[in-house]
Amino acid sequence: MFYSDKEIAGAIDHTLLKSEATEKDIIRLCEEARHYGFKAVCVQPYYVSLCAETLKDTDVRVASVVGFPFGTNSTEVKILEAQSAFVCGAREIDMVLNISALKNNRIEEVCADIKSVVNVSKDYPGTIVKVIIETALLSKEEKIKACDAVIQGGADFVKTSTGFNGGGATVEDITLIAGIVGDKARIKASGGIRTRQQAEALLRAGASRLGTSGGIKLLNNNY
Alpha helices in the chain (DSSP H): 5-9, 23-36, 48-54, 75-88, 99-103, 107-121, 140-153, 171-181, 196-205, 215-220
DSSP code for 137: G
The reply to whether 156 belongs to the active site is no
- Which residues lie below 8 Å from residue 107, measured CB to CB, with a gap of 6+? 145, 148, 149
- Catalytic-role residue among 13, 94, 113, 173: 94
Taking alpha carbons only, the member of 52, 53, 51 closest to residue 25 is 51
The reply to whether 148 belongs to the active site is no
The reply to whether 94 belongs to the active site is yes
- Catalytic-role residue among 39, 78, 143, 188: 188
Distance CA 209, CA 89 (A): 20
Active centre residues (catalytic): 94, 159, 188
